[in-house]
C-alpha cells in the first residue's frame, strides 16, 4: 500500500500528506471531549499550556525555518524575519483595535471572550497556512527536480509537522471550551484551524518556485501573529487565576512539549 502511495504524482501526495497533518490537528482538538465539566483551574492551566505551545511553535516551527529558508534563498535573513514577524503582530493589533471600536459597553464581558477566541483561531490558522505550504513545496520540488528534493524527505517533513499539530489542535479547542463553548463546537473550530493545510499544501506544490520566495515571510508573519495573541490574551488571562505560579508552570510544560516535538522531529 505504501509503495502504491509513493508511485502517485507528487502533487497528489502533497494533498494526502497535508490531509494527514490536518487529521492530527483534529485528534488533538478531540481532547476536549475528555473533560466532562469545566474546572477553572484545569481550564486556566490549559490556557497557559496553549500559550507555551504557541511560543515554542513560533520559534521552532516558524522563525528558525524562516531564517534557514531566507539564507538558502540568499535573502537578508534578519530583515525578512523582522518584516514578516512585525507585520503578523501588527495585523492582529489593528484587528484588535477595530474590534474594540464596535464593542458595545453593555456586552463587554461576553464580547471580550469572543474576541479572545477569534484571535486564537486566527493566529493558529495563520500558522498552519505556511506549514501546509512548506509540505507542498517539499513535494513540488520533486517535480521540478530541485537539489536535495526527495519524496522520502517530503514525507518526513509531513510526519514531523503532523505530530506537531497534535498539541496545536488542543491549544485551540481547550481555551474555547474554557470560554463556555460546547465540546462539539470547540472541537469543530479546533480542527477547522488545520483544514487550511491541505489547501495550502496543494497550492504550494503547484506554485513551488514562487512560494519558495514568499515562504520565509509567511512563516515569520504567522509567528508574529501567534506571539501577539499569547502576550495579549492567553498568558494574561491564565494569570488571573489565584495559583499564578502553577499556571506559569503549565506554560513551561506547553513550551517544553512543543519544543521536544519540533526539535526531535524537525
pLDDT tens string 92-125: 888 777 766 665 544 554 556 667 777 778 888 8
The better pLDDT of the pair 181, 59 is held by 59
Alpha-carbon span 85 to 69, nearest angstrom? 15
**pLDDT band, very low/low/confident/very high, at 38 (cuts 50, 70, 90):** low
Encode pLDDT of 193-247 as tens digits: 889 999 999 998 888 878 888 889 988 998 898 898 888 877 887 888 888 888 8
CA 154 centroid distance within chain: 19
What is the percent of the chain with per-residue pLDDT over 90, rounded to a whole number?
A: 20
The mean-pLDDT minimum among 81-90, 141-150, 166-175 falls in 141-150
Looking at residues 3-14, what average pLDDT do you find? 79
Our CA angle for 127, 131, 132, nearest 5°, is 115
Amino acid at each position: 500500500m505504501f509503495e502504491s502511495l509513493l508511485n502517485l504524482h507528487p502533487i497528489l501526495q502533497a494533498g494526502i500528506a497535508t490531509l494527514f497533518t490536518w487529521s492530527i490537528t483534529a485528534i488533538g482538538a478531540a481532547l476536549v471531549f475528555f473533560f466532562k465539566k469545566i474546572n477553572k483551574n484545569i481550564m486556566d492551566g490549559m490556557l497557559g499550556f496553549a500559550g507555551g505551545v504557541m511560543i515554542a511553535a513560533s520559534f521552532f516551527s516558524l522563525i528558525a525555518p524562516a531564517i534557514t529558508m531566507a539564507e538558502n534563498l540568499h535573502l537578508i535573513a534578519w530583515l525578512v524575519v523582522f518584516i514578516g514577524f512585525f507585520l503578523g503582530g501588527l495585523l492582529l493589533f489593528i484587528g484588535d483595535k477595530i474590534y474594540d471600536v464596535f464593542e458595545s459597553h453593555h456586552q463587554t464581558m461576553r464580547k471580550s471572550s469572543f474576541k479572545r477566541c477569534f484571535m486564537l483561531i486566527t493566529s493558529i490558522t495563520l500558522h498552519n497556512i505556511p506549514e501546509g505550504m512548506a509540505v507542498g513545496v517539499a513535494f513540488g520540488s520533486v517535480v521540478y527536480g530541485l537539489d536535495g528534493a526527495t519524496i522520502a524527505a517530503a514525507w518526513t517533513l509531513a510526519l514531523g509537522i503532523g505530530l506537531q499539530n497534535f498539541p496545536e489542535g488542543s491549544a485551540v479547542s481547550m481555551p474555547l471550551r474554557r470560554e463556555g463553548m460546547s465540546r462539539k463546537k470547540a472541537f469543530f473550530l479546533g480542527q477547522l484551524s488545520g483544514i487550511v493545510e491541505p489547501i495550502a499544501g496543494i497550492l504550494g506544490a503547484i506554485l513551488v518556485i514562487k512560494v519558495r520566495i514568499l515562504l520565509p515571510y509567511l512563516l515569520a508573519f504567522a509567528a508574529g501573529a501567534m506571539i501577539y495573541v499569547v502576550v495579549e490574551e492567553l498568558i494574561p488571562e491564565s494569570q488571573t487565576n489565584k495559583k499564578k505560579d502553577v499556571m506559569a508552570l503549565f506554560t513551561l510544560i506547553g513550551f517544553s512539549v512543543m519544543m521536544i516535538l519540533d526539535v526531535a522531529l524537525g
